[in-house]
Structure 1
Amino acid sequence: MKKKETNTDQKGAEYIAGIGASAGGLEALQEFFKAMPLKTGIGFVVIQHLSPDYKSLMDELLARYTKLPILKADDGMLVEPDKVYLIPARKNLSIFHGRLMLEDQGARNGIILPIDIFFRSLAKDIEKRAIGIILSGTGSDGTLGTRAIKEAGGMVMAQDERTAKFDGMPRSCISTGLVDYILPPAEMPEALYNFIKHPFVEKAKNTDAVLTGDEDGLRKILMTLRDFSGTDFSYYKENTILRRLERRLSINRFERLEDYYNLLTNSDKEKETLYRELLIGVTRFFRDEPAFEVISNNILPNLLDGSKKEIRIWSAGCSTGEEVYSLAMIIRSYLDGKHLNVEVKIFATDIDKHSLEYAGQGIYPESIVSDVDPVLLSKYFTKRDNGFQISESIRKMAIFATHNVLKDPPFSKLDLIVCRNLFIYFKPDSQAFVLNLFRLALKSGGYLFMGSSETLGVYTEAFDVVNTKHKVYQKKTGYVSNLGKELPGSFVFRKSESLTDNTAGQKRFPRKEQLTDKVLERMLPPSIVFDDKLNVIQVINDINPYLELKPGKFSQSLTNLLPTDLIVVINNMVRRLKAQKEIIAFEGVKILKAEKTFKVNIEGRLLLEDGENYTFIVSFFDIEQVETVRESRNVVNFETQIKDQLSELQYELQFTKESLQATVEELETSNEELQASNEELIASNEELQSTNEELQSVNEELYTVNSEYQSKIEELTQLNNDINNLLNNTEIAALYLDSKMCIRKFTPSFARISKLMEFDIGRPVRQLATAFVYPDFLSDISNVQLKLQSIEKEIITDSNELFLLRIVPYRTDFHAVDGILVTMVNIMSLQNERFKLKLSNQRLQGALEMGHMAWWEWNIETGVVNMHENKAIMLGYTFDEFPKNVYKVCELIHPDDYNRTMDEMRSHLKGEKPKYDVQYRIKTKSGGYKWYWDKGGIVERDATGKPLKLIGLVIDISDLKALQLSMDKNS
């Protein structure tokens, strides 16, 4: 694409707001820009869903509500502050180095997502200075884009669903929990301006966190958040936490941590918002696609070589599950392509319960079509009303569970661990701790898949590099996972470090709970406190020698932590304790661990009974320690008890099998019938879904077009009313003829003149009486139609009224001729004025001739003199012969009178005399002289007072002078 030359002196906008709008967005945009100040420094880029065959009127419609310059986006155009840029039809818009980039719009999987495309590029280009705003619209376009802006540290706004004509886009965006402001469009500009002008935002433009130095305030906030969520963020990088805190302070318009802490302690909503803010997950389907190609081409062939019946994968920090399902899809595709039958278990964990619930449903917005290959989309997704849902076969491969990698035990015997972009949030010691867990949890030869900006740190020697660029590693052989020996005894249920205040000069005393723990450790052997559902409540002393972590999803149940032999004993012990409520002991219980058998004595007690809720404690003793136990107890022969219990269990198992078989047969019959019905419904649903998608897309485009047309119709109606009122009140008679010379419209004034009626509209004008206006009316119309030249004339109607008639071609905005326009203006009053003027002129002419007078007008700048013809006639000249230049006229003055006359004129021009008044002799055409009496004065000046024009009257006084001379001689 050819780039246009750009002006390098232009300065781009520091903040750029991408505004996504679709159906119903016109009104929202008008409200938004009507309230937007003219000087904010923000550049605005409006992204709409536009019909490819429709010329958008958005620039005209918005211009009525804002004085901000509105431009159609062009390729290479720099986004400048305080300007609005509109996306063109049939184009996708992105941004690079502050300049807009256009490319032809192509639908992927039948869906066009211009808002997501622009928002993602905006987040990548200007990061924390990016602003995403979602207004009214259907669908979910913009949801993934706003997530990208939040990941980059930008700010997101969404229209309040209650004010949106169509709430699909705002609702989808708000459901992510990442929206900073939810407001009506008219209230957004004020919040936006306050946000960018906040001191933290201003100072942090080109630096890291600004909010530093208040360690005590930060500690209190983290402690409050830990008590609320159970997550200890003190293990996270401080700079990351401070930047997110600055964002919350800016949005709530605080400048001190103490003020924000007061809000946090009193608002569970703000606690939840801050918690979600700190847990923003960087994820999408097939994020960093080349990395997944490495997994598909280099890792899966080794893992799925046919030698294994099961592979175990752990996705740590899985967020909303896109990455988990991406991995599941490529594995399923590989298995199907190779016709392999391998059970795949993907343990997907995160500390964010909301994200896990979202991932478990497997329903994603329709905007994922921009990330998922069309083949995979059609194969592994089902279209739903609110997006796409992962197929059940893929969902079954993933097991989602809440898990904290810094607190909870890892899964074991893993073939692959995926942990991408989680370490970047941890402090270095936390990173090393988790990496060691991953090393222990992987099988020899297992693989580790990390984020592009993450490293192995001190564990580089423990892994071989599979792909350096995409951070894929393989555990070296020789490193054997031995959780029982390598994990600290307190690890399984480790509590986070206390964040209690430690002010200067104040001693720190142990808590009551710490003292109790110390006493129990000194007084009791290794023990476990648990409830009647076998869920662990507390661990006392080191129980690692008795642990045996089982593969699969981690839980705090004893069934997942202890060997099977011990579970059988403890189950039996629980039943006896509920019934006998006395100490129960089992001696010589055999335990098989690490291919070695050893014996242990076990003692159980009922600690608490609250209705149907029980709390037990079980203690473990080595054989040589048995003699130290002195309390009375009920000792059970372990082997006898096991035989009795096995017989009871075998009977129950046989009965259960028979019942199960009968149920299975009934279900198989029902399932076959349901399967047939289901297949028919699926086929029908797919057809309806496809039709619905097409209708939805068309409906959205039609609504946008209709909104703009409606606005234009209102504007045209107003203009039409204005014109009608103008024509009616000015009494201009007008007749409109179409291209076929049929009457299209006429004004009341024309109807009065021509006697036309409403039913004449649509009739050819030639069918009417030929002289209904004046005799040549039809022939004049024909001439104008043929020659396309206007006619203007004065006519007298049958009512003896005088009109000025104009017949002109009717031209459209595109300069095409589409009929004839006839206008008639009554000029009877003008005619009367003409008569009066003519009479006045006749009287003036007579007076001038009889009085031997003439008027003159001198333009001082040009030197031109306009005059009455009498001035020339009185000197024997014709009007054309007499000079019109002031200097030529002055040359005719008698030499003896010339200086005196000029001095008189100069005195008046200088303001020394109010009037010009002089008598002089002037030469006639025959060579003689006549006496003139010349009077005049200035009638026009410029702004500085300089004279521009003089007007005067000249009188022939020759006869008067001759009479006076004669009288002087006689006397």
Structure 2
Amino acid sequence: MSHEDDEVEPDEDGSAALGPLVAETPDPQLTALLEHLREQRGFDFTGYKSASLARRIGRRMAAAGVGSYEDYQDRLSVDPGEFDALFDTVLINVTAFFRDADAWEHLRTEVLPRLLARRTGRLRVWSAACASGQEPYSLAVLLAEALGPEEFADRVKIYATDVDEVALATARNGLYDEREVAGVPEQTLARWFEPVGDRFQVRKELRRAVIFGRNDLIQDAPISHIDLLLCRNALMYFNAQTQAQIVRRLHFALEPHGVLFLGKAEMLLSHPDLFQPLELRRRFFRKVVGEPRRVAMPLTGAAPADAVPPEDLSRLWEEALLQAPAAQVVIGRDGVLVASNRRAQSLFAIGPRDAGRPFHDLEMSYKPVELRSSIEQVLAARAPLWLRDLSWQRVGQRPVSLDVQVVPLLTSDGEVLGVTVIFNDVTRYRELQDQLEQANQHLEAAYEELQSTNEELETMNEELQSTNDELNSSNEELRLRTAEVGELAHFLEAVLGGLRAGVAVLDDDLRVLAWNERAADLWGVRDDEALGRPMGDLDIGLPFDRLRPLLVAHANGLPAEDVVRVEAVNRRGRTVDLDVAVSPLRRGGAGADGAIVVMTVVG
């Protein structure tokens, strides 16, 4: 299983400090379905974020024409082949050679030379959640070029694992089409790949160095004594408890000098006892050697069995920071944005992906107030600074009143780590004060009005925050799905995407190029029976003679009616009224290459 798409949902959503983002309460029927998948196929999805998981399963259910989890579980019981379609939807195996070129260049020029100089013997590398193999083969190319083919064969062993056996089968072959090798430099392609028909295969000397195998990051033991561990954009899809479990396994897998390479969408700010950043912007981390930090328990006389586990306290602490009502950001002493809570992300239109950017590049560094000079003053004086009664008018939104506090972050020894900036939204209090001043003579009426206004503002605030989270999540899912379908999406989305009507795509000779499931259901003609035949020759209850002039006109780019209503007979022998919409099919250039026919049952 790999989730290597860093151009995406969020849901769940951009670069994120690994940890809880939202409180999730799974649907009992969804939980029952997940238990069924674990019992029948050994896939345990209970550690995934339930909102994201529910959306992906819902997408597959919609494609299968099933309306409830319970009905879908019945469908899986009678149609074992549906398991494969479901896993293809949930296990988003999206990857590419040298994905995030800047990070791979840093790996080539900085990380690998240090590792190779320190590790004079065999180098052990683990590519976890490797999908169809592009990531471990990219690494093999870098190591072979750094060491030379002979030393590479003697010194390097790469373990590549995933939970998806179908993806692993593709990876073992090392055979990729032209689109899949588009990101490989031409010189690298010529040296390390061999043409096989219209595809390219990774050379045998690289394939021999990579051992592919199934490994579930949640359930299976980690590979040990690893010098370099790649686990890119997989962690962000798990809930906080599962993330913590996996991160500890990755920590165990690494040698003391080991390096962890994460994806662009992930950070480890909530696990400072396990990993410290080597290069935060490019997501390289070093293992922290020694005992993981212990959380001191209060001296209340409670028995050890009553103590809260350290990971739960860590999660509670992080969740408290993320959900704090005041917007808050943390800036390192080097001027880089380190973290932000949810309120800050909503207020300033920033996201977890902005972590690692220079603070002065962000609009919030000078709006609603110039903060750069204030931060410099706080760092120099090592004392907090208040900026009060600031008014901020955002485009299209109500003015906001803010009290801003800039606080230095110091170690116990007085060393400056950075600053935290807290934006206290005092808008409600300013409004309340103004309204109370105007309502001295009408106290009772003013009280009811203020109460109603306060409740409305609270509701709007919750709805806006929820909508923002959902939009970010949906955007991430959309990018993942777009990458997954590849080039075919450009054609299929134009013709069939999202339509529930019967659709036929015709060439300029009115022969059927595409025939969707709704058309098959409407007329009782399968797509394999319709494809390649003139639509007029199909034995269906559509008055084609009436439509032929309209179709011919559109197929040749001539002006004609766009929609016509006709009476037809469906596959069940029933008379139905149809709205038949026709538009020209254009696959490039100004002319028409055919026609798109959309048949909608009226009533």
TM-score over 0.5 (shorter chain): no
Structure with bigger RCO (C-alpha 8 Å, 6+ apart): 2
* Larger Cα-atom Rg: 1
TM-score, L = length of structure 2: 0.44
